[in-house]
Amino acid sequence: MTDSPEYLKKRAFFDSLLTIYGRKPVLEALEDSSLPVHKLHLADSNRKDQLISRIEQLAAERQIEIAHCDRKALSRISKNAKQDQGVALDLALPKYGDAETFLKENRKQHYELLALDGITNPQNLGMIIRSACAGGIDGLILPRKGCAQIDPLVIKASVGTLFKTRILRCDQLAPVLKKFSEQGARVCALSSHASDTLRTIDDREPTIFVLGNETHGVSPAVENACTHRLRIPMQNGVESLNVAITAALISFRHQY
Amino acid sequence: MTDSPEYLKKRAFFDSLLTIYGRKPVLEALEDSSLPVHKLHLADSNRKDQLISRIEQLAAERQIEIAHCDRKALSRISKNAKQDQGVALDLALPKYGDAETFLKENRKQHYELLALDGITNPQNLGMIIRSACAGGIDGLILPRKGCAQIDPLVIKASVGTLFKTRILRCDQLAPVLKKFSEQGARVCALSSHASDTLRTIDDREPTIFVLGNETHGVSPAVENACTHRLRIPMQNGVESLNVAITAALISFRHQY
C-alpha cells in the first residue's frame, strides 16, 4: 500500500466509520435520523422476523445502501460474531478522525486532549467520553489496540455524547504521542506516584492527558513517550481514583 | 420504645454496625486486621468446607464472638437470603454514625456533606464513597430507605475507602435536611435545570450537596427541604452527568 492522496482520502473516510452491530442497537440507530448512516450489512442466514423487516424498511425509507453477505463475511465486518446477530451498520461520524491528521491541522492551535492507554472496561470508556464531552475537552485519542472499542455498551454508557465528541483513532499510542510532543504539545501521564499535581501545569500550552489502565496505570512504552507526570491530590490516604473520575476532574477543571 | 439514654446509646452502637455477608467478602474482612469486627454469624445448615473452616479459624484467632443460628435467623441478619451463603459478619465501624447526632455535635463547625437521594446503583454508591473520601468531603448522609445499601458490591466499588469515610445514617432524608437547614446549613440540590452554578456558592457556610436518582434526579419531597439549587456547567449541549462524576466534581473542587 502507498500513501497516495487517493489512499489517504479513502483511509480518512474509513477512519470516520463506526460499525455497530446487534439487532436492537442497529434498529435504534436507524430510528435516530440525526445519525449519518453509511451502509447496512445483513447476513444471508438471518431469519426474516419482525425486527429484521423493520430494519430493512427503515433502511429503504432512508435510502441507505444494504449489503448482503454470508455469516462469515458479516462477522469480519462486525468483528464480533458472538453478538452481531447477523446485523451490522456503518455510521459515518463527522467527529470521527485520525490522530495524526488532527496534529497536522492543529499544529499552531491550543488544544486539550485525553489519550487512553489500555482502558478495557466499556462502562469506563463510555463514562470518559460523556465527561470529556461535557467538560469541553477538544478530543479523545483512542488507539485501535489495547483499549475497549466503541460498541453498543460504550454508546449506551456515553448517553448520546459519543456522537458529539471528537474521537481520534491511531494504531498505537506511543509513536503518536511522540509526534505530538515533537510538535510542542505537553504529554502528561496521570500517575498517583507523580510529584507534580494537575494544578501546576501551564494552561497556555497544548496538552494531552494520558489515562492508563484501571489496574496497572499507564504502560511503560506509553509513559516513555510522555513529557510530564501528574497526579491529582487526594485526601485520607486514598491511593487511586476510578479512571472515569480522573477524566472528569481533568475535563472540568476550567469549567466550574 | 423510649428515647432513654440507655436506648440512645444502644441505638448509636447498632448504627455503627455494618453487616456484610457471603463467604468470600466475610473471609476477606476477617483477613484484614485493620477492620474492627463485632460478631460472626453462621447458619447451622452450613456444610463445613474449607472456606467455613478458615472463617471459623480466623474468628477464633481474633477472639471474635461466633453466633450460630438457623438459616432463617441468618437471613434476617444478612437481609439477603439469596446471597448470604449462610455467613454474615458485623463490622463495628468507627466512622459510621447517625446524621442527627452529627448535627448536634457539629452545630458551630464548618462542614461539607453529600446527601444521597434514591441512588439505587451499588456501583455508583461505591464510586461516590471513593470520590468523596479522596476529595475530602466530611461525610455522606445515606438514608435507610430508597438508596442502595452497603453490601459487598458497594464495598468492592469503594476500593477500601468505605472504612475511611464518615457515613451518616438516617431513616428518611427530607426531615433530616430540614433540621440541618434550621441549624444554618445551606442545603443544595444538584439539578441540571438550576440557574446558579457550583461556583456561585459561598464556601464559608456549612453545606450539604444533595444528589438525586440516576434517572429522575432529586425527589420532590427532598427538593422541598433544600434551600438552594445548583448545577454544574456543561459544554456541547450535554444535559447530565453520571451521579458519581457529579459527586467527584463537588468533592474535589477545593483540592486541585
Contact between A67 and A44 (Cβ < 8 Å): no
User: What pLDDT sits at residue A97?
Assistant: 87
Pick the CATH number of A97-251 from 3.30.465.10, 3.30.43.10, 3.30.930.10, 3.40.1280.10: 3.40.1280.10
| Whether A232 and B255 lie within 8 Å, measured CB to CB | yes
Kindly give the pairing relationship between strand A207-211 and strand B17-21: unpaired
Residue A134 in contact with residue A108, Cβ under 8 Å? no
Each residue's pLDDT tens digit, B97-107:
899 999 999 98
C-alpha–C-alpha distance, residues B16 and B90, integer Å: 10
CATH tag for B96-251 (out of 3.40.1280.10, 3.40.50.720, 3.40.50.1220, 3.40.50.970): 3.40.1280.10
Strands (E), B33-170: 37-43, 65-69, 87-92, 96-98, 112-116, 139-143, 167-170
Q: What does the angle CA A64 – CA A66 – CA A70 come to, to the nearest 5 degrees? A: 160
Residue B13: is its pLDDT beyond 80? no
**d(Cα B111, Cα B109) in Å, to the nearest integer?**
6
- Model pLDDT, residue A2: 60
Residues ≥6 apart with Cβ < 8 Å to A180: A103, A187, A206, A208
**Closest residue in A to B232 (Cα–Cα):** A256
Contact A256 B164 (CB under 8 A): no
Q: Which residue of A has its CA nearest to B240?
A: A134
pLDDT of residue A10: 79
Q: What three-state secondary structure class fits A8? A: helix
- Please name the member of A134, A159, A245 whose beta carbon is closest to the beta carbon of B248: A245
- Per-residue pLDDT at A107: 85
Q: Does A213 touch chain B (CB under 8 A)?
A: no
- Of the candidates A135, A236, A240, the beta carbon closest to that of B136 is on A236
Amino acid at B145: K
Q: What is the mean pLDDT of residues B25-46?
A: 89
The residue to which cell 481474633 is assigned: B62
Rounded to a whole number, what is the distance in angstroms from the first to the last CA of chain B? 48
Q: Determine whether the interchain pair B252/A249 forms a contact, defined as Cβ–Cβ distance below 8 Å.
A: yes
In chain A, which residue's Cα lies nearest the Cα of B254?
Answer: A233
> Angle A218-A220-A225 (CA atoms, 0-180°, nearest 5)?
85
HEC string of B158-189? CCCHHHHCCEEEECCHHHHHHHHHHCCCEEEE
Round to whole Å and give the CA distance between B17 and B58: 20
Q: Which of B159, B198, B248 lies at the smallest CB-CB distance from A249?
A: B248
Interface check B255 vs A, CB under 8 A? yes
Closest CA to A212 of A187, A236, A240, A191: A191
The answer to whether A204 contacts chain B (CB < 8 Å) is no
CA-wise closest residue to A166 among A89, A107, A106, A236: A106
Whether residue B228 has pLDDT greater than 80: yes
CB contact under 8 A, B252 and A238: no
CA–CA separation, B256 and B254 (whole Å): 6
Contact of A4 with chain B, judged by CB distance below 8 Å, is answered with no
Domain boundaries, chain B: 17-92, 96-251
pLDDT by residue (tens digit) across B186-212? Answer: 999 999 999 999 988 888 899 999 999
Interacting residues of A165 by C-beta distance below 8 A, sequence separation 6+: A95, A129, A132, A133, A137, A139, A140, A158, B236
Residue-level pLDDT at A62: 96
Q: What is the pLDDT along chain A (256 residues), one digit of tens a residue?
A: 567 888 877 777 777 788 888 898 899 889 888 778 999 999 999 988 899 999 999 999 999 999 999 999 999 999 889 889 999 999 888 788 889 999 999 988 999 999 999 999 999 999 999 999 999 999 999 998 899 988 778 888 898 798 889 999 999 999 999 999 999 999 999 999 999 999 888 888 999 999 999 889 999 999 999 999 999 999 998 989 999 999 999 999 987 6
**Per-residue model confidence (pLDDT) at position A71:** 95
Sort out which chain B residues have CB atoms less than 8 A from A198's CB and list them: 256
A210: its cell numbers: 494520558
Res B163: pLDDT: 82
pLDDT at A145: 87
> Residue A217 carries which DSSP code?
B
Residues 32-91 of A with CB under 8 A from B: none
Q: Would an 8 Å CB–CB cutoff place B238 in contact with chain A?
A: yes
Q: How far is A131 from chain B (nearest CA, A)?
A: 7
* Residue A176, SS3 per DSSP: helix
CATH number of the B17-92 domain: 3.30.1330.30
Nearest CA to CA, how far is B46 from chain A (Å)? 35
CA distance B240 to B217: 10
Query: What interhelical angle do A122-135 and A243-251 show, nearest 10?
Result: 10
pLDDT in tens, B132-177: 999 999 999 999 889 998 877 888 889 879 888 999 999 999 999 9
Name the residue among B134, B234, B249 with its Cβ closest to that of A234.
B134
